[in-house]
Chain A
Amino acid sequence: MLLTVGGMALWLGLSDATLSYVRAWLRLPLAASGVVLLALALATLRWGSGKEEEPAGHDHGHGDGGPRSAWLLVVPVLVLLLVAPPALGSYAASRRAPGAGGDPSGDFPALPEAVGGAVPLPVSEFVSRALYDRGQSLAGVRVRMLGFVTPADKPGEGYRLARFNFFCCAADATVYEVAVRGDSTPRRADQWLLVEGRWLPEPVAKATAPSTRRPVLIVDSATPVGPPADRYEHNLFAF
């Protein structure tokens, strides 16, 4: 069992697939954990598990290879092998309220420099600025964003550009969405797009009011692209 889990951890630590689930910096600890577990497994095979005889009549589910609950460890391995779960996509996005974070004081730092005529921004930062920046730093600025398509609630309303953002692991991911207008090409759900356009200004939300509004982007161009290696953003700024 240790061999299996250790092997899985090592493989995950070394491959890009992990980025669907956790942050990049976890890869080294994962690989290290894998090595530790594998070493432990090999040591056990070599020297035996060294456990004392258990008194008769004691039922605590200890098998020779370890406690019975250890069998459960095979479940994540099987899930990884059989289901190969992808990063969170439009299904998960459609089931969650979109996130809205921002500094309650409404002060945001200056926008990054424009590259090739547009300011590249993570979706989560765009949403935060659009909803909470009293300085309205986005007004009139051409921005470029990368995200995936999530269909709107009602058909015919266009689509939303979405991106998940998390700090620890995919389980705490929040989705940030931008309502896209001006692109009449029908788009598939989960299609990744590189869009350029301008924000449609709206009044800034009060800091304490919950905001499930999605800021609107009027796009000039939308290019289908392949998904990036890390499909999530890890933007602390958005909070």
Chain B
Amino acid sequence: MGATRRRPRLVDARLLLLVIVVAAGSRGLVSGLFDDPALQTWSTIFVSITIQALPFLVLGVLLSGAVAALVPPGWLARALPRRAALAVPVAGLAGAALPGCECASVPIAARLRDRGVSTAAAFAFMLAAPAINPVVLVTTAVAFPGRPQMVVARFLGSLLTSVGVGLLWLRLGRESWIGRCRVRAAEGQNRWQSFGATVREDFLQAGGWLVVGAVAAASLQVFVPRSLLDLVAGNELLAAGCLGLLAVLLAICSEADAFVAASLRQFSLSARLVFLVVGPALDVKLIAMHTGIFGRRFALRFAPLTFGVAAASALLVGRWLL
């Protein structure tokens, strides 16, 4: 049985078109239904998270498609140090080169893995890229004027997290936990068709799960009053834990979380560092994308591991520098 070329099912496309047209046409009729201010606020936040992520996701899948289709197999594996334990920190540092939203890093890491990069190194890259790129460091410097140690602390904390998770995966991780199978390009295709197919596949998959994450983040933002925070600010360990959890639940883009952290004045700098280190590594948006791209078994294990390592790294660095 050779490879077959399939055209997208027109039935699916027509159904979608029908849904859209009906929705657009009925706007006038249903406008009264959606007037509730809570629903509108939720919708604003949901849409804004999705729209903000969209160009970065497209960039990410373009890059991941390029990795999958245009980079010769094995080249990447040879470019990294052979010893896995060394490849992890190198991959982590390489993350500094990719400015942009966390959403871009997940499809790229998946394709890196397909192309021969060790899983541990791919994860190190995935965790580091959203957290140590220049845009994030600059915004952190602006958000904490007069406190350059926050920038250094954030950089070190996130690098430590990415390397830590990568090395732990080397010791403890099992490939069997990763459940998704990747669609491979058909034989006889030229590189550009393969590129296009990969980009499309990655975008549709990652995009769908981004929506799941955005729904979760918007719901948590609207239904969890921020005044709860004032209660826990006193106790140091509790504060760190709560801010870490908040970072996961709020799913704020890594370019902007420095400003949110700066406004949480009732908390110590160390606790806020936990917020800044955990956020780009793990949040509901990312968990959704991990589930979609690597499988649920993986996400269930990866999430607590990352949270623990990130929080511990932040507390360690905070104790040392802040």
Contact = CB atoms under 8 A, between A and B. Distances in A.
A36 B27 contact: no
Given A67-B201, A87-B44, A210-B266, A76 B256 contact: no
Q: Which of B34, B45, B209, B226 has the most CB of A within 10 A?
A: B45
Interface string A38-67: 001001110111111110001010111111
Nearest to B143: A239
A79 B218 CA distance: 13
A62 to B, nearest CB: 7
Nearest to A35: B58
B183 A170 contact: no
A189 to B, nearest CB: 9
Contacts of A30: 51, 54-55
A73 B51 contact: no
Interface stretch (A2-10, A133-141, A151-159, A219-227): A2-10
A218 interface: no
A58 B181 contact: yes
Contact of A171 (B54, B185, B221, B266): B221
A171 B284 CA distance: 14
A172 B259 contact: yes
Where chain B touches its partner, the secondary structure class is helix
Interface in B145-174: 145-147
B1 A53 contact: yes
Contacts, number: 261
13 contacts: A1-B204, A21-B51, A47-B196, A49-B5, A51-B201, A64-B7, A67-B204, A83-B40, A91-B37, A96-B225, A104-B147, A167-B139, A169-B51
Contacts of A170: 44-45, 48
Interface stretch (B13-21, B84-92, B110-118, B299-307): B13-21
Interface residues of A, number: 84
B212 A51 contact: no
B236 interface: no
Given A4-B20, A82-B23, A210-B230, A171 B145 contact: no
Interface in B105-144: 139, 142-143
B252 A172 contact: yes
B204 A2 contact: yes
Interface string A72-88: 11111111111111111
Given A66-B201, A171-B217, A50 B47 contact: no
Interface stretch (B72-80, B186-194, B237-245, B312-320): B186-194
A66 B41 contact: no
B82 interface: no
A105 interface: yes
Contacts of A2: 200, 203-204
A183 to B, nearest CB: 24
A172 B204 CA distance: 26
Contacts of B48: 20-22, 169-171
Interface in A137-185: 166-172, 174
Nearest to A87: B44
B83 interface: no
A122 to B, nearest CB: 15
B260 A174 contact: yes
B25 to A, nearest CB: 10
Contact of A63 (B9, B211, B259): B9
A15 to B, nearest CB: 12
B200 A82 contact: no
Contacts of A193: none
Nearest to A92: B41
A51 B183 contact: yes
